[in-house]
């Protein structure tokens, strides 16, 4: 059977111009092991993007497999209104041990975008029920990404995804966020005072009265090209939110679970958000699950006699799915038992060093930026002026195709090449994937 042909007969792949598949047909994967994926012909691909950033501990991790198998023979799913089960309670207990202070109430969903929708609704309803019904708008940063459903898309600021749908979207207050590579203040992210924060202050002065919440991807704007900004920004934002009674929503869907070198990106800032969204690494990349976690204070504003009509009438059929929870519990145990984040941080030093050595000297590399094991290489036309490459040339895409031939999955964001590997990646694979990436960059950008 020609699996590729059959695939294209039926399947409309996500986030793809399907015509591109004429020259790059879908790669049909048969099995996975560690950071390796193997296609139906036995060819190996290094999954250094963690299959859209969710695979945390390698494919077919023996411990997660075991936990999942055990759960599937016990209970696969149960309605989550009025019913509960051990895996979800255990998961909350385990998460409580690692979450930023104050987060203690868990509302489950089945994908990241849904958790974002839930947070926005929750924040609005909190203000509505505590005497501030005029707080019905949201603030978000430029270049933000929060998912694809209409609410999540509205707070997002990457035009590639949202521009076309503007007529359908909420009117969000957009704040010029940190842009450390092309800093308009001429500062450097390692020692600045977040001068760009004045944009947030201006927005709060003008709009805080009508604002329920501000949502951010803490420290790392992933989809915008792995843009990294300093923790001080979050600290300042916490103070501003407190001053103006605006919720701080942390979208830790991509940054949680050790991706930035600490369990959560907010841990770098030493402050807590009012609502935190988790997904992706939550189940180790095994099962679709997400959660919006909030404070006692927000929870209490919904707690009253039924006829007062204050309940949060929001549900997802698969909320709290036991199979997903059993994976999520095992992920937390592995992180702890095997000291995963600490070990990953050690190897991250090596990874960052070889990437800088290999790529910084190239004439088209504007910046190498890193946080945790995530490393991004921004390609530019001119190193001095930081002028971008001509995007119509699709340079990143050409590099992606070359690297696939050589067995490495890079999938650049525009002309930003990045690595966001499972936390278990070893030095030998770091050497291999960076060599291939370098070869591909050099062959495309001659």
Ligand X SMILES: *Cc1c(COP(=O)(O)O)cnc(C)c1O
Site residues (vs ligand X, CB under 6 A): 111-113, 116, 145-147, 217, 222, 251, 253-254, 279-280
Select 413 or 436, whichever has its Cβ closest to ligand X: 413
The residue among 155, 11, 46, 143 whose CA lies nearest residue 413 is 143
Select 192 or 293, whichever has its Cβ closest to ligand X: 293
Cβ 38 to ligand X, closest distance in Å? 25
Q: Are 200 and 236 in contact (CB under 8 A)?
A: yes
Q: How far apart are CA 322 and CA 77, in angstroms?
A: 6
Select 233 or 359, whichever has its Cβ closest to ligand X: 233
Select 272 or 279, whichever has its Cβ closest to ligand X: 279
Helix 427-444 crosses helix 395-405 at what angle (to 10 degrees)? 130
Cβ 48 to ligand X, closest distance in Å? 17
Q: How far apart are CA 348 and CA 430, in angstroms?
A: 10
Nearest-CB residue for ligand X: 112
Report CA-CA distances (Å) from 288 to 42, 179, 253.
27, 32, 12
Cβ 285 to ligand X, closest distance in Å? 11
H runs (alpha helix) in 212-289: 232-244, 266-269
Cβ 360 to ligand X, closest distance in Å? 27
Select 254 or 403, whichever has its Cβ closest to ligand X: 254
Q: How far apart are CA 40 and CA 25, in angstroms?
A: 13
Select 88 or 250, whichever has its Cβ closest to ligand X: 250
H runs (alpha helix) in 208-294: 232-244, 266-269
Cβ 224 to ligand X, closest distance in Å? 10
Select 119 or 434, whichever has its Cβ closest to ligand X: 119
Torsion angle, CA of 338/342/346/349, rounded to 10 degrees? 130
- Expressed in angstroms, the distance from the first to the final Cα of the chain is 39
Task: State the residue for tokens 């990143």.
Answer: 396
Cβ 418 to ligand X, closest distance in Å? 13
Cβ 253 to ligand X, closest distance in Å? 4
């Amino acid at each position: 059977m020609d699996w590729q042909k059959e695939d294209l007969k039926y399947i409309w792949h996500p986030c793809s111009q399907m015509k591109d598949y004429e020259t790059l047909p879908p790669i049909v994967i048969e099995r996975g092991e560690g950071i390796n994926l193997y296609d139906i012909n036995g060819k190996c691909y290094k999954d250094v993007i963690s299959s859209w950033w969710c695979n945390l501990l390698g494919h077919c991790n023996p411990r997660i497999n075991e936990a999942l198998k055990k759960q599937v023979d016990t209970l696969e799913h149960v309605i989550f209104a009025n019913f509960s089960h051990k895996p979800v309670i255990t998961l909350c207990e385990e998460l409580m041990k690692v979450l930023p202070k104050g987060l203690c109430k868990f509302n489950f969903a089945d994908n990241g975008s849904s958790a974002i929708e839930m947070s926005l609704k929750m924040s609005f309803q909190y203000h509505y029920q505590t005497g501030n019904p005029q707080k019905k708008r949201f603030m978000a940063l430029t270049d933000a990404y929060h998912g694809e459903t209409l609410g999540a898309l509205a707070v997002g600021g990457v035009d590639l995804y949202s521009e076309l749908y503007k007529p359908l979207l909420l009117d969000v207050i957009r704040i010029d966020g940190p842009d450390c590579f092309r800093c308009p203040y001429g500062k450097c992210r390692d020692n600045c005072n977040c001068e760009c924060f004045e944009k947030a202050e201006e927005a709060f002065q003008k709009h805080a009265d009508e604002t329920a919440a501000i949502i951010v991807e803490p420290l790392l704007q992933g989809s915008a090209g792995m843009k990294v900004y300093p923790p001080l920004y979050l600290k300042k934002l916490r103070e501003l939110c407190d001053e103006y009674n605006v919720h701080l929503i942390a979208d830790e869907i991509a940054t949680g679970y050790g991706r930035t070198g600490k369990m959560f990106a907010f841990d770098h800032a030493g402050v807590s958000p009012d609502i935190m969204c988790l997904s992706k690494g939550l189940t180790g990349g095994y099962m679709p699950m997400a959660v919006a976690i909030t404070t006692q204070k927000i929870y209490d504003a919904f707690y009253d006699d039924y006829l007062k009509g204050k309940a949060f009438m929001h549900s997802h059929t698969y909320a709290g799915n036991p199979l997903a929870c059993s994976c999520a519990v095992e992920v937390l145990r592995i992180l702890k038992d095997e000291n995963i984040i600490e070990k990953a941080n050690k190897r991250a030093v090596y990874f960052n060093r070889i990437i800088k050595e290999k790529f910084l000297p190239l004439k088209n590399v504007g910046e190498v930026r890193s946080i945790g094991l995530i490393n991004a290489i921004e390609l530019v036309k001119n190193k001095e002026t930081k002028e971008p490459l001509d995007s119509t040339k699709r340079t990143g895409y050409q590099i992606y195709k070359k690297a696939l031939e050589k067995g490495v999955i890079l999938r650049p964001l525009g002309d930003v090449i990045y690595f966001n590997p499972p936390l278990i990646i070893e030095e030998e694979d770091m050497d291999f994937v960076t060599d291939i990436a370098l070869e591909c960059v050099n062959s495309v950008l001659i």
